[in-house]
Amino acid sequence: MKSFLLMFWIAIVLPWAAAAQQTSVNITTFNLKWFGIGGNPNAPVKEYRIKYVKDLISNYLAKTNIFVFEEVVVVKDIPSILPLGWSCISYQHPQPQHQKVVLCGAPGVSLNKVSYDNNFTIEEAQAGNANLRPAMRVDVVETKSKRNLFTLVGVHLKAMPNETILRVEQALAISKDLARIPQGRPVVMTGDMNTFLKSETKQTEDDVTLILKALNSGARGFVHVPHKANTFTFRSPEYRNQLDHFYVRGAMRVTFLPEVFPVCSATQNGTGYMNFEFYYKNVSDHCPVTMQIVVQ
């Protein structure tokens, strides 16, 4: 994504004070659809999409500093899609086809454990179900200056329209954990949140709103960063939706609304990565979503 010299400060900007040193960070969430086994859990094969995903990242996501990947089955395949020098963290799970969350930082960025825990995961986000994904939570540190910039939370919440209550329960658990972080500290939560409209879930409000309320039950101060109009982050042959999101709180600037790789929203078929069938087969059913923040 391009770095703008003239930055557009969107209306949801959180409390901010002038500072001598400011750092911009581009964060991308990217669901890779059963990555490591070829995208299909019912017919797993050696991952053939590595060259395509690597090419997409190199050509369209070169400005990203931090990736939050979801649906990663084979974590050791992730370095193959990234430039040299990146570092990644994830977790162990006994199920061989468990879809893991993986956080990766570019050279110059360290992903550290928070001060109040001895690992990188919020296990309570599994809501008592070992089959679900824990949230991953790190402090993002600028290596050269040793500045602890913000806390990042990567999530992959429960799928399907009829699972809103469980998604809210997961968000409540995450909020309880994040309530231990000082109120003014910047926090970014992103990932595949599997959100649906109230018309699909039969709830009183859309999932994005219910998750926001749950996050603010303990941690407080979160806002949801909206997508641009007519933008989708998920696209299958039958369906499109906004499943991938950013929630933020604390002293930071969000410089532009999330940028979504355009094939998921396109109304006309194109070529290469802008071809619906090619992208779905060789990359994913989700499009990468990038947000830039400025922290001090």
Q: SS3 of 158, please? A: coil
pLDDT the model gives residue 208? 98
Q: Which domain holds residue 112?
A: 23-295
CB-CB contact of 283 with 231 (8 Å) = no
For residue 132, being part of any structural domain is answered with yes
Give the model's confidence band at 1: pLDDT under 50 very low, under 70 low, under 90 confident, else very high: very low
In this structure, the strands spanning 66-72 and 87-89 are unpaired
Q: SS3 of 131, please? A: coil
Predicted confidence (pLDDT) at residue 8 exceeds the cutoff of 60? no
| Residues β-bridged to residue 29 | 68, 289
For residue 114, being part of any structural domain is answered with yes
Give the model's confidence band at 9: pLDDT under 50 very low, under 70 low, under 90 confident, else very high: very low
Query: CA–CA separation, 97 vs 101, rounded Å?
Result: 13
Query: CA–CA separation, 184 vs 201, rounded Å?
Result: 34
Query: CA–CA separation, 90 vs 100, rounded Å?
Result: 7
Query: CA–CA separation, 251 vs 296, rounded Å?
Result: 8
pLDDT the model gives residue 292? 98
- pLDDT, tens only, 98-154: 999 999 999 999 999 999 999 999 999 999 999 999 999 999 999 999 999 999 999
Query: What is the mean predicted confidence (pLDDT) over 174-201?
Result: 97
For residue 272, being part of any structural domain is answered with yes
For residue 47, being part of any structural domain is answered with yes
pLDDT the model gives residue 21? 83
CA 273 to chain centre: 21
Cβ count within 10 A of residue 208: 17
Nearest to 82, CA basis, from 117, 109, 44: 109
pLDDT the model gives residue 145? 93
For residue 12, being part of any structural domain is answered with no
Query: CA–CA separation, 133 vs 71, rounded Å?
Result: 10
Cβ count within 10 A of residue 48: 11
Predicted confidence (pLDDT) at residue 274 exceeds the cutoff of 70? yes
Query: CA–CA separation, 143 vs 141, rounded Å?
Result: 6
Task: Give the percent of the chain with pLDDT over 70.
Answer: 93
For residue 33, being part of any structural domain is answered with yes
For residue 3, being part of any structural domain is answered with no
Tokens of 128: 């008592």
- pLDDT, tens only, 244-271: 999 999 999 999 999 999 999 999 999 9
The CA dihedral of 198, 124, 105, 113, to the nearest 10 degrees, is 150
When divided into structural domains, the chain yields a total of 1
Backbone phi, psi, residue 20, to 5°? -70, -30
- pLDDT, tens only, 61-105: 999 999 999 999 999 999 999 999 999 999 999 999 999 999 999
For the entire predicted model, the pTM comes to 0.93
CATH of the domain at 32: 3.60.10.10
- pLDDT, tens only, 19-31: 458 999 999 999 9
Residues 6+ apart with CB under 8 A from 32: 49, 53, 69, 70, 71, 72, 284, 286
For residue 10, being part of any structural domain is answered with no
CB-CB contact of 281 with 237 (8 Å) = no
